[in-house]
Structure 1
Amino acid sequence: MTGASANEQKYESRNPILRMLIARFHRRIAELLAPLRPATILDAGCGEGYLARYLLDHLDGIALWGVDASAAAIERARQRCPEATFEVASLESIDLGRKEFDVVICSEVLEHLEHPEKALVRLSSLCGSHALLTVPWEPWFRLANLARGKYLRNLGNHPEHVQQWTKRGFVRVVEPHFEPLHVEVCFPWTILLGRPRVERRRAAV
């Protein structure tokens, strides 16, 4: 795709294995959220709206907001999901006129941040009930990239990924801010469903 971001190139890939993994990943996220019956969802770091589109199509009765630091990504997200609300904002500066959302999603974002703890503080203050967080499952994410011939100079590591977490390592980073309720690997990602810690939310407000 000419002019496409790395995220768009991944989601628009014709590689059948990658497409299968992404479809399974999105399906699993929706399966974890469905029993919660959220009315409002914030997709923090929504990119071009690929996950948002899937959730709007597969979860009944949700109102969805999305934020991303990239104005170009937000424009694509608005085109993909015209029924949702999108704003340009960094994770640390989200202000959508709402105090909190039933579910806050932060998928494939935290690994890009030098200081993910700052983002987790802000996310916990916006989270009314549950948060769903995902990151690459390392080192298997890098090995999967190597297997498809990607990022060979970086030994499979995406050049924009500044954090690499095992499942256990990611839980350690998240635990001060969210109580983990369910953690699983959906290859090659780690998915964590949690609840904001009350004391952290009060401190962040």
Structure 2
Amino acid sequence: MNVLLDPQTLHDKDWAGVKSSDSFYAGSLRYPDIARVIAGLGPKRLLDVGCGSGYLASLVRSSLPAVRMDGADISEVALRRAAKQFEHVWQVNLDADPLPAETGAYDTAVCVEVLEHLYDPAHTLEGIRRCLSTGGRIVATVPNLAFWRYRAALLLGRIPLAVSDPRHLHAFNPGAFSELLERSGFSVTGIYGHGERFRFLARSWPGLFSDILIAVAEKK
């Protein structure tokens, strides 16, 4: 069977292989930067959609030990590792299944490095919106096609990483990302950046100097 036709098998293979240890993430400042944005919102009950192994949740919990968290992911392999970080975990194919979480149960949702992989990201965002309470907020991230290195690659006739990864079905710049969130029932309150080297530039001008876009948006 072609593994590309079976997303669970594809992601299980990743989590059993290259992502089998959290050292895959630990060398990067990306997840600590995202965790700080989440912690700054002061969540009491959080839903992590595409939670993976729970590494990001562990960083959030280190700042907010009392936060209650649930997680959902397509990978059974990842969820076995994630279970210790969450009160509940659900195995969900976001392109096919509704989120089993209770309507209006969360003040904060997280969707990190997920939307670009989905056939219909708006469908997933609308499902997340249902799970949020009135005024609830989402922290979502996507690769930034407008990152200066990716612009340079295009000028040189190369395909940048943001679109060359066969698992990435969509590409975003700040405008397209904001439009997706607004169309899905959210009001964007901020777009933030991350940089491994030029951190000040990434935070000051995320549209140009950040390889990912970190959006905070409120449920309309």
TM over 0.5: yes
Q: 1:110 to 1:83 in 2, by over 3 A?
A: closer
* Whole-angstrom CA distance in 2 between matches of 1:193 and 1:120: 13
Question: SS at 1:93's partner residue?
Answer: coil
Q: Give the corresponding residue for 1:150.
A: none
**What stretches of structure 2 of length at least 5 have no aligned partner?**
1-12, 195-209
Q: Give the corresponding residue for 1:183.
A: 191
Q: 1:115 to 1:53 in 2, by over 3 A?
A: same
Amino acid at match of 1:166: N
RMSD: 2.8
Question: SS at 1:30's partner residue?
Answer: helix
Percent identical: 24
After superposition, residues 1-205 of structure 1 pair within 5 angstroms as 4-5=14-15, 8=19, 12-13=23-24, 22-23=28-29, 25-78=30-83, 81-82=84-85, 84-91=87-94, 92-97=97-102, 99-128=104-133, 129-140=136-147, 143=150, 155-156=160-161, 157-176=164-183, 177-186=185-194, 187-197=210-220
* Whole-angstrom CA distance in 1 between matches of 2:166 and 2:149: 11
Question: SS at 1:191's partner residue?
Answer: strand
Q: 1:42 to 1:142 in 2, by over 3 A?
A: farther
TM-score by length of 1: 0.76
Q: 1:27 to 1:141 in 2, by over 3 A?
A: farther
Q: Give the corresponding residue for 1:202.
A: none
**Contact between 1:7 and 1:47, CA under 8 Å: does it hold in 2?**
no
Query: 1:27: how far off?
Result: 2.5
